[in-house]
Structure 1
Amino acid sequence: ATRPTAHDLFFAIDFVLKNVKKKLAEEGFQKNRMKMFVVKLSEKYSKIIEEKCQRIGRIGEKVIETGSRILTHCNAGALGCVDYGTALAVIKFAHRKGKRFVVYVDETRPRFQGSKLTSWELAHEGIDCYIIADNAAGYYMQRGLIDLVIVGADRIAMNGDVVNKIGTYEKAVLAKEHGIPFYVAAPLSTIDPKIESGEDVPIEFRDEDEIHYITGLNESSDKIERVRITPQQSKALNPGFDITPARYITGIITEEGIFKPNELKKIVERSINVQGIL
């Protein structure tokens, strides 16, 4: 697979393929009708995920209080998911309920999803936010300037381990050290019932050029430009994700409620919206 780590991508494809196979068995192949059927299926799936994200926001906003200082990592908003997103749904719903707080946004190297995407979404919502360097989170935690951490997830194992954007693990370790709650927001479809532990999840290694080059606006020419920031002879390693063990996670915010990591296996066994999205 081109993106082996994120479970929801597989879940979405399986949803479409399962329904297409059923349609083919019932009616046979009719090219134009099948095209429209796939489009409608995709729209239906998008709507379902949109509703799940909104439920995550409504349930999760309770962990945020007026005056909270929140750290988030990568982009788990509308630009990375749909509608409100997951982690950002929690933040957006809290803000829309009238709570006022500040969000610290990790830049999230090497693709800068935090500084480029999350900061834009929060500013668009009128939420007070600051972009911080990836390696600055410990500084703010040590000085008591962060009250909670909220991130998304690309895949969750049955034991509660969370696989998310590279850099998530170190934030969780720092949060644990400083007694700061660490929440993960994700739909139940992110739980992979075939994966017992985070160590079983394939981690995508991305092109090393993402480390060697950055892209940004040249304010003199008003053009987007790509520049190299490392020596020509240098090599780079670029894992896209890391594994946060369940012991570092305070709670997982889902569309069905907030669960402790060790409760997930029981939820899957009860088949609460995990085996099928409908």
Structure 2
Amino acid sequence: MQVNNKHYRSVWAEKNAVIIINQQKLPFEFELLRLTTLDEVIEAIKTLKVRGAPAIGIAAAWAMWLESYNNGTIHETAYQKLIHCRPTAVNLKRGADAVFLDFLTHSHGAEQLWQTAQNFADSEIEACKLIGQHGYKLLEQIYRTKQQTLNILTHCNAGWLACGDYGTALAPVFEAHRNGLPLHVWVDETRPLNQGSRLTAWELANEQIPFDIISDNSGALLMMQKMVDAVLVGADRIVKNGDVANKIGTYQKALAAREHHVPFWVAAPLTTFDFSVENGMQIPIEQRHGNELQLVSGMYQQQRIEIALFPNTFPSVNHAFDITPASFVNAYITEKGVVENIKTLV
């Protein structure tokens, strides 16, 4: 995507480093971080400086290359440390596997592993591009009937920042906008870290796509008022029976969409599908530190500040993801096309 008239991916590599757009600094500051060790990449993933299932998969592929570049080899301990730094998104392991298994199988050095990582990144981004094209056709079908501006509701951030480029849930929105389809996006703020109001809104503003930021609890009301034509979300893992792990709050949107007969679509590359897991209850759900609920960061007089909403002595539970049952999903949008029955992919 273009930022200040320059094309960027959200994560890439050059010379002896992995480069990421620091998602923690957006929307107020556009900062590139240069990561030169495996531990620095892991820290960036854990602290959400780079986040989004496809993006952390790409980062993991580059991290394995970087380990080889720095040490001349990739130890099993380094691989294990990387793939366990965040438990829910299966893409993290997919990216690490692409490079580590190439190393184990062919004993390739850093130069060849660079190309392996690059191929993985390019494949993920091409998948996202195709997701946009396939998802656009769904939006176009609704528009042909409605003949008015489409209102799309999305949760969290599943745009190009989360995917290297193009995005998953936002890819059809970008494609529709490029094709002149009039649309508007309801952007869930996505507490507690506000990936919607900080990142999705920033992406949409950058593309000059109309949007409104809404509180996380507004979606059902908007659907009741017939102000939502479709719900589009990404995914961190989709399992054999079609259940979907995604940002906490996704399930609530699916419940409301079912009640009000609003299409609920999940956009994800095939690397997000994990058919080794039977159902959503078997997906490991990451619980993050309670201080993400307690503390809110923002800008005050051009200074980044952090304030407490409640004392740190108050207990809290911070689930990062939830599970949406397959029965609530109208379609999965993948690089292979729009899939209504998950069994066609298994």
Q: If the length of structure 1 is used for normalisation, what is the TM-score?
A: 0.89
Tell me the secondary structure at the aligned position of residue 243 of structure 1.
strand
The one-letter code of the counterpart of 2:298 is G
Equivalent position of 1:45 in the other structure:
120
Kindly indicate whether the alpha-carbon contact (under 8 Å) linking 2:125 and 2:164 is maintained by their aligned counterparts in 1.
yes
Equivalent position of 2:322 in the other structure:
242
Equivalent position of 2:197 in the other structure:
115
Alignment deviations for residues 88-129 of structure 1 (CA, whole Å, 9 cap, x no partner)? 111100111110111000000111000000000011111100
Say whether residues 1:153 and 2:235 are aligned partners.
yes
Alpha-carbon distance in 1 for matches of 2:258, 2:174: 25
Alpha-carbon distance in 2 for matches of 1:168, 1:228: 26
Alpha-carbon distance in 1 for matches of 2:169, 2:312: 38
| Cα distance change on mapping 1:36 and 1:243 into 2, 3 Å | same
1:36 deviation in Å? 2.7
Kindly indicate whether the alpha-carbon contact (under 8 Å) linking 2:98 and 2:117 is maintained by their aligned counterparts in 1.
no
The one-letter code of the counterpart of 2:122 is K
Aligned pairs for 1:215-226 (under 5 A) are: 215-218=297-300, 220=301, 222-226=302-306
Say whether residues 1:8 and 2:83 are aligned partners.
no
The one-letter code of the counterpart of 1:50 is I
Alpha-carbon distance in 2 for matches of 1:102, 1:126: 11
Equivalent position of 2:213 in the other structure:
131
1:138 deviation in Å? 1.4
Q: If the length of structure 2 is used for normalisation, what is the TM-score?
A: 0.72
Aligned pairs for 1:1-278 (under 5 A) are: 1-24=84-107, 34-64=109-139, 65=143, 67-218=149-300, 220=301, 222-260=302-340, 263-268=341-346
The one-letter code of the counterpart of 1:265 is K
Alignment deviations for residues 17-42 of structure 1 (CA, whole Å, 9 cap, x no partner)? 11111221xx6xxxxxx233333222
Alignment deviations for residues 39-70 of structure 1 (CA, whole Å, 9 cap, x no partner)? 32222211111111000001111121351110
Give percent identity, aligned residues only: 43
Range moving further from structure 2, 58-67 or 75-84: 58-67
CA RMSD of aligned residues (A): 1.1
Kindly indicate whether the alpha-carbon contact (under 8 Å) linking 2:291 and 2:312 is maintained by their aligned counterparts in 1.
no
Alpha-carbon distance in 2 for matches of 1:35, 1:230: 48
Tell me the secondary structure at the aligned position of residue 83 of structure 1.
coil
Q: Which has the higher contact order (CA 8 A, sep 6+)?
A: 1
Alpha-carbon distance in 1 for matches of 2:174, 2:241: 29
1:183 deviation in Å? 0.3
Alpha-carbon distance in 2 for matches of 1:145, 1:102: 10
Report runs of 4+ in structure 1 exceeding 6 Å deviation: none
Q: Which runs of 5+ in 2 are unaligned?
A: 1-83
The one-letter code of the counterpart of 1:48 is S
Alpha-carbon distance in 1 for matches of 2:197, 2:157: 9
Alpha-carbon distance in 2 for matches of 1:266, 1:176: 23
Equivalent position of 2:79 in the other structure:
none
Equivalent position of 2:52 in the other structure:
none
Tell me the secondary structure at the aligned position of residue 225 of structure 1.
strand
Alignment deviations for residues 223-268 of structure 1 (CA, whole Å, 9 cap, x no partner)? 11111111343111000000000111110000001111xx323322
Kindly indicate whether the alpha-carbon contact (under 8 Å) linking 2:132 and 2:173 is maintained by their aligned counterparts in 1.
yes
Alpha-carbon distance in 2 for matches of 1:38, 1:209: 38
The one-letter code of the counterpart of 2:104 is K
1:182 deviation in Å? 0.3
